Amino acid sequence: MTTNQRLSRADFHHSDNASEQVQVCVRLRPAVGTGQGQEAPCVRGVDSHSLEILNWRNEMETMKYRFDAFYGEAATQQDVYMGSVQPLLHHLLKGQNASILAYGPTGAGKTHTMLGNPDHPGVIPRAVRDVLQMTRDASEDKCKYSVSMSYLEIYQEKVLDLLQPSLRDLPIREDRNHNILVPDLTQKEITNFADFERHFLPASRKRTVASTQLNQRSSRSHTVLLVLVNQIQNWLTYSHQTAKLCLIDLAGSEDNRRTGNKGLRLKESGAINSSLFVLSKVVDALNQGLPRVPYRDSKLTRLLQDSLGGSAHSLIIANIAPEKKYYFDTLTSLNFAAKSKQIVNKPFTQKALLQTGSRKPAKPGETETLSNQAETGRSLSDGKRPCPGFSDADPEAKRPCLQVQPGPSEEKPLSSLLPLENLDPTLAERLLRLEALEKEKAGSSTLPLLNTPRRERLNVLKLLDETRRELKRVKEKQTEMEAQTLKNKGALFLQAANPRKQATVLPLQQVQTPIKSQEEEESVIKKQKTRGRKKKIQEFDSENKAPSKWEVEIHPDQLAHSKIKILSLMNSGSVKDLMDLHLIGKKKAELIVSWRENYGSFQKVQDLEKIHSITAKQVDSFIKANILKFLKS
C-alpha cells in the first residue's frame, strides 16, 4: 500500500433515500391571440397537480395527466421557484448534485421561466442568489464554502464556452467516480450576486439566437449553467466535498413548416430536433431498464448523464402552450414529462478525506490550491491530490484545499501504532524484526524511483520513453536532410563541371521512318498525343513538388493590397460574393457569414483558421489562389 493510498480515500455517503424519482412539474403559459379557431385553448388545469387536454381522436373526451406540480396561466415566477426549485437547493450543502431542466416546444416560455426579466427574475438568478446566501450562512470556522460558475452552450453538437467564447469544441469526459465533466471549461469564482451578474449577463448575450416566424428571439442552442459549491472542513476530518447545480435551458423542438426555417436556420433546427430525439430515447431506455442507455449518441444527453438516471436530485419543468395550433407539440411534451417522472436517480455525497497520524492542521505554506481539473484522483508529482470538479482555465478561481500529504520521513513506524506490551512476545519480536529489515532495504536502495508511488513512476517512465522516441525521430529527420543536401550539392557540382552537355530532343518527325499507309500515320499521331499528355502531367507534377516562390516574386505592396481586397470582401460580401473566390464553396461561404454575424469582422485573412473545419493549410491555399486573382483585377 502506497503513501497516497494510506492517507487519502474517497467515501460515498448515500442520502437518506437511496433512490428517488425525477420530479416533474408543468407550467402553462398565458394564451396569446383572439381565443377563437386555432387560437382557442385545448388544455386546462384541474388542480395544483393535474391537468387535462382534449383527445385529438374525439374532442368530446379529454386525457388527464398528473405531475408533482401544475402551474396554470396565473402562476408567477415566484410560485414556480418556491414551489418546485428552492426545495432542491439544500442538497448542495450536503455535497449532493441537483439539476433543473426546462423542456418544451419553441415559444412555450422556457427561457422566460429560466431567465425571466429584471421585474420578474426566473429560476437561474433566484437559485444563484439563494445558493450564495446559504453558503454564507453555513460557513463557520470549522467549515468553509466557496461558489464558482461555468456557462456553456451546445450549438450544432459542439460544446462552446460562453464565458470565454471561441470556436473550440470542448470534450465531455467521465472521471473514475462516474462524474460527468468538461475539461478546460472556464470557471469563475463568485462571492456575491454582483459577481454573478458581471460574468453571466455578457455571456448570456453571446448565446446563439435568431428570429423565426414563431419567435422573435428563438434559442438556437441548449445552454447549461454550472454552479459548483465546494465545502472545506478544516477540523477533525479535514474533508472536502463538491456539489454541482446544473441549470439547463433547452432549445425547443421545431416544425420547419411553421417556422419557415431555411439555410443555416434549417441546419440548426435539425441539430436541435436530433438531440431532443436522443433525449427521448434515453428516457425510454431508462424506463424499460435496457442494458444500454444511449447517452453518448448526443452531446446533450452525455452532459445530462448525471441528471437522468444518475446521482442528482433532478427537476424537469415542462413548458406548454394552450392554443390548439400547438396541440401536438403540447401532447408530445406532456408524454415526455410523464415518462420522465418514472426515472429513478440515486443521489449520494462524495467526500474526500485526508487522514494523518496526528491530524494536525497544515501550515500556511503546505496548503494546496483548488485546481478544478477534469480527472480527479490523479496523483501529482509533489505528493498532492487534486480536488474533484470541473476544469478551470481561470487562475482567479482557485481556493485553498487539502493538505500536502506527508512524505515517507513523516510516517510513524508500525511498532508505534500497536501496544507492544499487550502483544504476544513472539509476535512483537517478529514485528520489530520486519521493521528493521524494511529500514535496511530502504537505506540500501540506490534507485530513486523505487520509493515513488506506482502511478508517478509509470508516468515518469512513459515520459522518458516518449522523449527517446522523439529524439530518434529528430535524428532520422536530420540524417535525411543531410543526405538530401549532399545530393543537391552533387547535382550542382556535375552541372557546373559539364555546362555544355545537354540532351537534345529532336522532333518526332525527324527520327521517324517514312509513313507508308494511312493506318500507320494515325498510329503515329496517336502516340505523339499520348507522349504530349504524359509530358504535361510530368511538368505539372514537377511544378507542384517544387517549393513555391509566389510570395517572393510578387511585390510586397501588391501583396498587401490584394490581401486588403480579400479581407474587405470577407467582411462585407454576401454568400454569393464569397462563392466567387477560389476554393470557397457554398458551405464555406455560409460558415464565413455566420462567424461574421456572431463574432464581428475579421481582422486579417488568416482569421479564417478560427472557423471550425477550415485548417491553416486550407487558408494558405486560399490566399495563394486569390492573390493572383486580385492582382489581375
CA distance 278 to 299: 10
Phi, psi of 70 (to 5 degrees): -130, 130
- Cell numbers placing 505: 530532343
106 is in an annotated binding site: yes
Phi, psi of 570 (to 5 degrees): -65, -35
Helix (H, G, I), strand (E, B) or coil at 82: helix
109 is in an annotated binding site: yes
- The rounded Cα 1 to chain-centroid distance in angstroms is 36
Of all residues in the chain, what percent are helix, strand and coil, respectively (each to 5)?
45, 20, 35
Helix (H, G, I), strand (E, B) or coil at 13: strand
Nearby residues of 14 by Cβ (< 8 Å), 6 or more positions away: 346, 347, 348, 349
Phi, psi of 12 (to 5 degrees): -115, 115
CA-nearest of 309, 142, 109 to 217 is 109
107 is in an annotated binding site: yes
**Dihedral of the alpha carbons of 237, 242, 243, 245, in degrees to the nearest 10:** 160
Residues 62 and 55: beta-carbon distance below 8 Å: yes
83 is in an annotated binding site: no
CA-nearest of 73, 68, 95, 65 to 29 is 73
281 is in an annotated binding site: no
206: exposed, middle or buried (C-beta count within 10 Å: 0-12, 13-18, 19+)? Answer: middle
472 is in an annotated binding site: no
Residues 42 and 121: beta-carbon distance below 8 Å: no
609: exposed, middle or buried (C-beta count within 10 Å: 0-12, 13-18, 19+)? Answer: middle
84: exposed, middle or buried (C-beta count within 10 Å: 0-12, 13-18, 19+)? Answer: buried
C-beta atoms surrounding 432 within 10 Å:
14
Residue with cell 461574421: 596
**Beta strand 344-345 with 158-161: parallel, antiparallel or unpaired?**
unpaired
Q: Which bin fits 67, alpha (ψ -120 to 50), beta or left (φ > 0)?
A: beta
547 is in an annotated binding site: no
Residues 149 and 202: beta-carbon distance below 8 Å: no
CA distance 289 to 213: 40
CA distance 598 to 612: 13
Helix (H, G, I), strand (E, B) or coil at 588: helix
104 is in an annotated binding site: yes
CA-nearest of 588, 589, 590, 597 to 615 is 588
CA distance 481 to 628: 32
Largest CA-CA distance found in the chain, in angstroms, rounded? 122
Residues 123 and 85: beta-carbon distance below 8 Å: yes
252: exposed, middle or buried (C-beta count within 10 Å: 0-12, 13-18, 19+)? Answer: buried
Nearby residues of 552 by Cβ (< 8 Å), 6 or more positions away: none
Helix (H, G, I), strand (E, B) or coil at 100: strand
Helix extents (H) in 52-192: 77-80, 86-89, 110-114, 123-138
Binding residues: 104-111
Binding residues for ATP: 104-111
